[in-house]
Amino acid sequence: MTLALSSFLRRALIIDAVVSGATAVLLVFAAGMLARWLEVPESLLRYAGVVLVPFVGYVAFVARRDVVPRASVLAVIGLNFAWVAASLWLLLGGPIQPNAFGYAFIIVQALAVALFAEVQYVGLRRSELQRVA
């Protein structure tokens, strides 16, 4: 099933791509500094930034299309929820021991990503309703 992106969903995807891109740059190029401040392994921070690069490309690609498969939007939402789950796993049972700033950083970015996923889901529903109307 394909759908035309509503302007709401398109903006949500674009904002996700921009914020995720900025986060990727921060994590890749400032991993050493962040590692010291957050007490999170530098390699984990850098790897997380590198992992975001193809995600950002995919989200930007989807956002630029007028009509997309519904599955493309669901993939973005699912990947965002996977990021949130991985973040929570790091805090609750993962192999790291961040300091208070590290916990705050991971929690805040996970909440932001969860918000992106929720807004994108709302946008998906709006796009589906526009198709029906």
Whether residue 114 is predicted with pLDDT greater than 70 in this model: the reply is yes
Rounded to 10 deg, the angle between the 31-38 and 100-132 helix axes is 120
Residue 120's Cβ-count burial label (10 Å; 0-12, 13-18, 19+) is buried
Whether residue 133 is predicted with pLDDT greater than 80 in this model: the reply is no
Identify which of 93, 27, 20 has the alpha carbon closest to the alpha carbon of residue 58.
20
List the Cα angle 58/50/76 in 5-degree steps.
30
Sign of CA dihedral 34, 40, 43, 46: negative
Which pLDDT belongs to residue 131?
A: 61
Whether residue 132 is predicted with pLDDT greater than 70 in this model: the reply is no
Q: Tokens standing for 112?
A: 């932001």
Beta bridge partners of 68: 3
pLDDT digit string, tens, across residues 39-79: 999 999 999 999 999 999 999 999 999 999 999 999 999 99
